[in-house]
Amino acid sequence: MSDEDVDVLVVGAGVAGLSVAAGLAATRRVMIVDKGDGSTRWAQGGIAGAVAADDDPRDHAADTAAAGAGLCADRPLAVLVEEGPLRLAELIAAGARFDREAGGALATTLEGGHHRRRVVHAGGDATGAEVARVLTAATRGLTRMGDATVVELTRGPGRCGPQVTGALVRQGDRLVPITARAVVLATGGIGHAYPASTNPAAVTGDGLALALQAGATLTDIEFVQFHPTVLHTGGRLGQLPLVSEALRGEGAVLRDAAGVAFMAGRHPLADLAARDVVAREIHAVLQRDGVDHVHLDATALGSELLRHRFPTVLAACAAVGVDATREPIPVAPAQHFLCGGVATDRWGATDVPGLYAVGEVAATGVHGANRLASNSLLEGLVFGRRVAARLTLELPGAARGTLPAAPIARVVPRSADVAREVLGRYAGVRRSGAGLAAGLAELAALERADGLPAPTEWTVAGAVLAAAAARTESRGCHYRDDHPLRSEWWRRSVHVHRAETGLPAVVVDDVASAA
């Protein structure tokens, strides 16, 4: 066992974690710990921002709030849309090569729920890879432990009572205790707490489980977004290739087995309705026709545009024998994004001293009940920079001393497959009270049967099922067959906390949101 002592430990190396690290690199001792490939590198569509002359951050906020179905928090949302263009400009100054029009202006595209073309992109449909390239370069001199998992957060006495003081990290067969004045969770979403997801395999919800066990509050985690168009590869599970929504932005159309463009007439934005709407319509077609996929027809876009704008999608299709320039692409919804997460303020602070969260693992309130397309890389850039600013103020100078540390959270991977299967079965595109109760009972029985500490997937599945069971309405990407309508009373949040034993406990806000 060796020992490390740093100012800030950043857990995760996607857009959010690297933005925090880059913002602190010059003035604080930062260490980055990451499990491996996260979601950032796989992001296709782009980054939303009111950068066009005819756009306005207020219009971006209005589209985000409409997708968020009444639960977006006003002030964090204003931060997102107003600071977003500044962060984009900084990224460009740092060397990011976004696609441009012939005249030199940033090229923008349209995605679901946006009323303007405001999604900037790089490499056609390889935006995340370009963002990762630039931020990785900006953090190159920092200490980084790759292929490493945080197995415990530790705490000790702080200025105002107990606080998080570091983490125990497993890398291969060594355990490394790290003492830190602040720990920033930037671990991404919960993709592989589900059987199939667009997220890479390392994304299992570790940050949520660690935060919960450290005593932090999770919020809005019943809002799990399913991307409507994920490449259907004969029922394969695990990480599945995304078929970017930007294809529909450029004119691709969803068709059923008979070739009917079924979104027309179902919503004023047709194929470009918000993701929850499109995912549910696809789900209805799958049930009606007894099939496991529909088709996305992009052939009318022409092979030149497809090759130029969507090389990643074309390559993924080619790998399963589909020529997307000549034939429709088989697609079905799959888990994509968690809209809620660890509750934070607008500077990334959780309700546990010393613990911060940023990016998909965090819930700042910007996404409400459903995230608008291409707001996720944006969130990582904007709030990553804010966490760095907050920590620069909170951790003046470099005075340190090793704080006594005691383990408070241990995540032991076990029973993961069963929890994954339970979450996929009961907390998918459509849910019901009976199903959610059955899922919770199955998880509880699983825990009683093995009597061992809960694995990440069990904790995450229990938290999502409990939150979804509590919300007895349909809103955004949470749809209940037994409560199909949106209820004004439910303009409030569901919070999830650690329980002394068993499944996480749920508390419903006693006041409605002012948003």
Q: In angstroms, what is the minimal distance from the CB of 481 to ligand SIN?
A: 26
205: region left, alpha or beta (phi > 0 left; psi from -120 to 50 alpha): left
Q: Residue 121 or residue 498: which is nearer to ligand SIN going by CB?
A: 121
Strand pairing of 224-231 and 329-338? antiparallel
Let me know: does 113 contact 63? Beta carbons within 8 Å. Answer: yes
Q: Where are the alpha helices (DSSP H) in 4-120?
A: 15-24, 57-67, 74-93
Residue with Cβ nearer ligand SIN (112 or 328) = 112
Residue 164 burial (CB count, 10 A)? 31
Task: Give the amino acid at 375.
Answer: N
Work out the angle between the directed axes of helices 57-67 and 74-93 (0-180°, nearest 10).
120
CB atoms within 10 A of CB 465: 30
Tokens 């696809």 belong to 282
Q: Which residues sit at the interface with ligand SIN, rule CB under 6 A?
A: 44-45, 242, 244-246, 373-374, 376
Q: CA–CA separation, 102 vs 41, rounded Å?
A: 27
| Nearest distance from C-beta of residue 79 to ligand SIN, angstroms | 18
Closest to 378 (Cα-Cα) out of 370, 390, 367: 367
Among residues 44 and 204, whose Cβ is nearest to ligand SIN? 44
Contact 334, 197 (CB under 8 A): yes
The least CB distance from residue 198 to ligand SIN, in Å, is: 8
Please identify, using beta-carbon distances, which residue of 109 and 163 lies nearer to ligand SIN. 109
**Active-site hit among 29, 87, 118, 275:** 275
294 closest CA partner among 311, 266, 510, 482: 266
User: How many angstroms separate the CA atoms of 207 and 229, rounded?
Assistant: 27
SS3 readout for 136-158: HHHCCCCEEECCEEEEEEEEEEE
Measured CA to CA, the distance from residue 347 to residue 109 in angstroms comes to 30
10 Å CB burial of residue 381 (0-12, 13-18, 19+) is buried
> On the CB side of 243, how many CA atoms lie within 13 Å of its CA?
31
Amino acid 344 reads T
Nearer to ligand SIN by C-beta: 114 or 498?
114
In whole angstroms, the minimum distance from the beta carbon of 512 to ligand SIN comes to 28
Q: Which is nearer to ligand SIN, 145 or 246 (CB)?
A: 246
Closest approach of ligand SIN to the CB of residue 493, in Å? 23
Report in angstroms how near the CB of residue 438 gets to ligand SIN at its nearest: 30
Shortest approach of ligand SIN to residue 31 CB, angstroms?
29
Give me the least distance between CB of 336 and ligand SIN, in Å please.
Answer: 6
Q: CA torsion sign, 276 to 278 to 281 to 287?
A: negative
Residue 96 CA to residue 360 CA, distance in Å, equals 22
Active-site residue 275, yes or no?
yes
Q: How far is the CB of 271 from ligand SIN (least distance, A)?
A: 12
| Closer to ligand SIN by Cβ: residue 246 or 277 | 246
User: How far lies 434's CA from each of 230, 441, 468, 482, in Å?
Assistant: 28, 11, 11, 9
Residue nearest to ligand SIN (CB): 45
Q: For the chain, how big is the Rg over CA atoms in Å? A: 22
DSSP codes of every residue in 486-508:
--GGG-S-EEEE--SSSSPEEEE
The SS3 call for residue 167 is strand
For residue 144, what is the enclosing H or E element? strand 143-145
Which residue numbers are catalytic?
275
